[in-house]
A and B are shown apart, each in its own frame.
Chain A
Amino acid sequence: DVKVTQSSRYLVKRTGEKVFLECVQDMDHENMFWYRQDPGLGLRLIYFSYDVKMKEKGDIPEGYSVSREKKERFSLILESASTNQTSMYLCASSPGIEAFFGQGTRLTVV
């Protein structure tokens, strides 16, 4: 069974804080993704990575950055959290076709 694990299920952070969301997959997938899920807007791609140390912007990268130092780990960074970044964040990994999702991190910025 593919396992994609996100470090936190729920997070509450203050405006202006630097926030790290961590994602680890155990299937040696090359591709990893960060999505944001908001009601009525579906899943929107923030950043993705095809390989270690490689990253590409998705559709809504503003206010976010990522890091992929090891193949199994893909981190999403909110440089200075704002209230409009309150959302559900979903990590996914893929060997090339099917995407496997983590359980999600519900981030609240107060």
Chain B
Amino acid sequence: GENVEQHPSTLSVQEGDSAVIKCTYSDSASNYFPWYKQELGKRPQLIIDIRSNVGEKKDQRIAVTLNKTAKHFSLHITETQPEDSAVYFCAASLTGGGNKLTFGTGTQLKVEL
């Protein structure tokens, strides 16, 4: 089955700096890669996703890149703000099969003032 590795497990940045979280996946058949943000005490929520036919996707301050050959994908947050502090999870799945998501182990991002 699919295996997703995520790094780093914790990340501390100064407000205004950029943050990058990286994930690798094992199953070359996976074609959907979402990122979820979980604030303290709240449910995970989708913030951005990318499909395997696209190399990069951007939404305001967040972007995701995908390298299918290397089976890597990354989340980039620019101009970080305190409200970006949360746990971020990457995931991978094969759409069409009910979208069973396999998650990474999470990154605790702390944005310091």
A residues adjacent to B (C-beta < 8 A): 30-31, 33, 35, 40-45, 48, 50, 58-59, 90, 94, 96-99, 101-104
Contact B100 A45 (CB under 8 A): yes
Tell me, in angstroms, the Cα distance from A45 to B103 when the chains sit together: 9
With A40-B105, A42-B6, A96-B95 already in contact, 13 other A-B pairs whose C-beta atoms are closer than 8 Å: A30-B98, A31-B98, A31-B99, A35-B103, A40-B9, A42-B105, A43-B101, A90-B44, A97-B95, A98-B49, A102-B43, A103-B42, A104-B43
- B89 at the A/B interface (Cβ < 8 Å)? yes
Interface residue B26 (Cβ < 8 Å from any Cβ of A): no
CB distance from A74 to the nearest CB of B (A): 13
- Answer whether A94 and B98 are a contact pair too, CB < 8 Å, given A42-B106, A43-B103: yes
Chain A: minimal CB distance from B5 (Å): 10
Q: Are A97 and B99 in contact (CB under 8 A)?
A: yes
- Determine if A103 and B95 form an interchain contact, defined as CB atoms under 8 angstroms apart: no
Main SS class of interface, A = loop
Q: Chain B: residues with CB nearer than 8 A to chain A?
A: 1, 6, 9, 32, 34, 42-46, 49, 89, 95-96, 98-106
Indicate if the CB atoms of A99 and B6 lie closer than 8 Å: no
Q: In the complex, what distance in Å separates the CA atom of A42 from the CA atom of B44?
A: 11
The answer to whether A50 and B98 touch across the interface, beta carbons within 8 angstroms, is yes
Q: Are B99 and A99 in contact (CB under 8 A)?
A: yes
22 contacts between A and B (CB under 8 A): A30-B98, A33-B101, A41-B105, A42-B6, A42-B105, A42-B106, A43-B44, A44-B103, A45-B101, A45-B102, A48-B98, A50-B98, A94-B98, A96-B96, A96-B98, A97-B49, A99-B34, A99-B46, A99-B99, A101-B43, A101-B45, A104-B43
Which residues of chain A are near B43, meaning CB under 8 Å? 90, 101-104
Interface centre among B6, B32, B99, B102 (most CB of A within 10 A): B99
* Given A90-B44, A103-B43: A96 and B102 interface contact (C-beta under 8 Å): no
